[in-house]
Amino acid sequence: MASLTAPAAVAEEREELRGTARGGLANLLGAAVSGIGGLAVTWLAAVALSPAEAGAFFAATSVFLLAAAIARLGTPTGLVYWVARLHHGGRDAAVGSVLRLGLWPAGVASLVAALALLVAAPMFARPDLVQLIALFLPASVAMEALLAATRGYRIMGPSVVIDKLGRTVAQLVGLGAIALLGDASAMLITFAWVLPYLPAAVAAGWYLLRRHRASPPETGFPDRVSARAFWGFTAPRAVAGVAQLGLQRLDIIMVAALAGLGPAAVYTVATRFVIVGQMASGAVGQSVQPRAAAAMAAGQPASARALYQESTAWIVALTWPVYIGVGLLADWYLRLFGGEYATAEARTVVWILVPAMMFSAACGVVDSMLSMAGKTSWQLIDVSISLVVNVGLNLALIPTMGVVGAAIAWSAAVLVNNLVPLAQLWRTFGLHPFGALTRRALLAAGLVFGVLPLTAVPLGPLWTSAALAAAGLAWAVALLRYRSGI
């Protein structure tokens, strides 16, 4: 019997990895568009607006994203977790109770948050921008929650098509049209950025309704998930999600408040390369989450470990080339947004953040793995500690060091936010990202994009960029050829 069980377990693990790879590939394609689109949005705003106006736009969108994170109440992670577990266990009839428990409170909270922003708008430097984004806040919350529920069914297509592709392309078209007309303002740019959330929310709701109606109907005694069980998992994640986004966006708001809108624009431009890495990690994480939740629920730590390690290898393979390339060509990267952004301070910001983000990539989707293991309370503590580190260092360093101080604060918070949960996962569940695939990816990426292009640095940026381009071409061919095992 054991001889049959072992091959069956191996076959199941391989199927999980293949499923994750398929979902991850779709997400990665969407993430590529979304990540490049995020950089393009930053570029369009930087070239179409003055630094002060661009800073107002970046600050307003950061407020929007933070308010949306608060209003979501952690429901995206809760919906993925519960829908994945119920679907994997054959309890599709109970999914309806989970949707009601998650979607209605988030909808009400989004309306309350929108009203709060409208009331508090005069407190901000640009009240008109805050009032505008408040109107579209419920649509953003609805889109995120509805798409999360579809991912619980292990369906990645709607998230890719509706959010990463549809919304991003619509934003780019809107901003591009305004820039071409030559009459750009922070108000018009913000409107073009926020408007696509509305049709995206409608499309997400339509798709989820179709999928849910296709589920088996209830038979016999109704199957339900209790509010206590749902919110016992989700509530800690609600606070953790806000803190997590605070780590990514609060520094922009603090730079704007403590140093001014101009420095906020410079800081945003200097840090936007991080979007590419975050999108890649997020895309892989979205594919891994439902499978990791199902594996942990079924008591299959080996499958969860394999998912974690292979996904980390791919994150490293996709993000390290970007981070290293931006670090080596920091001046060229900054000049893309305009000469006023290519300052010594901005270059220092890039150099501080590059190694921190490379370390974060090497830890993989540690945050997602901890939450899918059911430890959202640990996750809340971890990210809260990181946020305290970030805010404390920002308050101490921005007044004297400006954007460089903000970069130091963010890097310190990133290190804490990865090291602490990694230690918890490793000690409690025996899960870590440093398998053979990950070690191979770390070594190969460091050699191909670090050691070799560094030899061209003394020859000038043109030779460095040529070396990086050659390395990138060879790397792409290698990934396509060895995509089953990096």
Decide if pLDDT at 361 tops 50. yes
Question: Comparing C-alpha atoms, which of 287, 310, 311, 321 is closest to residue 26?
Answer: 287
Decide if pLDDT at 7 tops 70. no
Q: What mean pLDDT is predicted for residues 303-316? A: 86
Q: Is the pTM of this model over 0.75?
A: no
pLDDT of residue 440: 87
Q: What is the pLDDT of residues 103-149, one digit of tens each?
A: 999 999 999 999 999 999 998 889 999 999 999 999 999 999 999 88
87 in Cβ contact with 153 (< 8 Å): yes
pLDDT of residue 374: 73
Q: What mean pLDDT is predicted for residues 147-158? A: 83
* Percentage of the chain lying above the pLDDT 90 cut: 35
252 in Cβ contact with 272 (< 8 Å): no
Q: Sort 134 into a burial class: Cβ within 10 Å, 0-12 / 13-18 / 19+.
A: buried
Among 144-153, 209-218, 274-283, 467-476, the minimum mean pLDDT is found in: 209-218
> Rg (Cα) of the chain, in Å, rounded?
22
Q: Sort 344 into a burial class: Cβ within 10 Å, 0-12 / 13-18 / 19+.
A: exposed
Burial 302-338 (b: 16+ CB within 10 A, else e): ebbbbbbbbbbbbbbbbbbbbbbbbbbbbeebbeebe
Query: Which position has the token pair 């590529």?
Result: 32
Decide if pLDDT at 223 tops 70. no
CA–CA gap between residue 103 and residue 148 (Å, rounded): 11
Q: What is the pLDDT of residues 79-88, one digit of tens each?
A: 888 887 787 7
pLDDT of residue 481: 66
Q: Which amino acid is at 162?
A: I
Q: What is the DSSP letter of 459?
A: G
| Structure token digits, residue 471 | 């390395």
In 3-state terms the chain splits into helix, strand, coil percentages (rounded to 5) of: 85, 0, 15
Q: Which amino acid is at 360?
A: S
| Structure token digits, residue 119 | 């009331």
Decide if pLDDT at 301 tops 80. no
Provide the pLDDT confidence category of residue 217 given band limits of 50, 70 and 90: low
pLDDT of residue 475: 83
Q: What is the pLDDT of residues 463-478, one digit of tens each?
A: 788 888 888 887 877 7
Q: What mean pLDDT is predicted for residues 50-71? A: 91
Among 171-180, 277-286, 316-325, 469-478, the minimum mean pLDDT is found in: 277-286
CA–CA gap between residue 78 and residue 484 (Å, rounded): 31
Q: What mean pLDDT is predicted for residues 203-218? A: 76
For the chain, give the mean pLDDT.
Answer: 83
More confident residue, 428 or 301: 428
Q: Which amino acid is at 297?
A: A
Decide if pLDDT at 35 tops 80. no
CA–CA gap between residue 417 and residue 394 (Å, rounded): 16
- Chain centroid to Cα 471, Å, comes to 26
Provide the pLDDT confidence category of residue 220 given band limits of 50, 70 and 90: very low
Q: How many CB atoms lie under 10 A from the CB of residue 125?
A: 16
Q: Which amino acid is at 420?
A: V
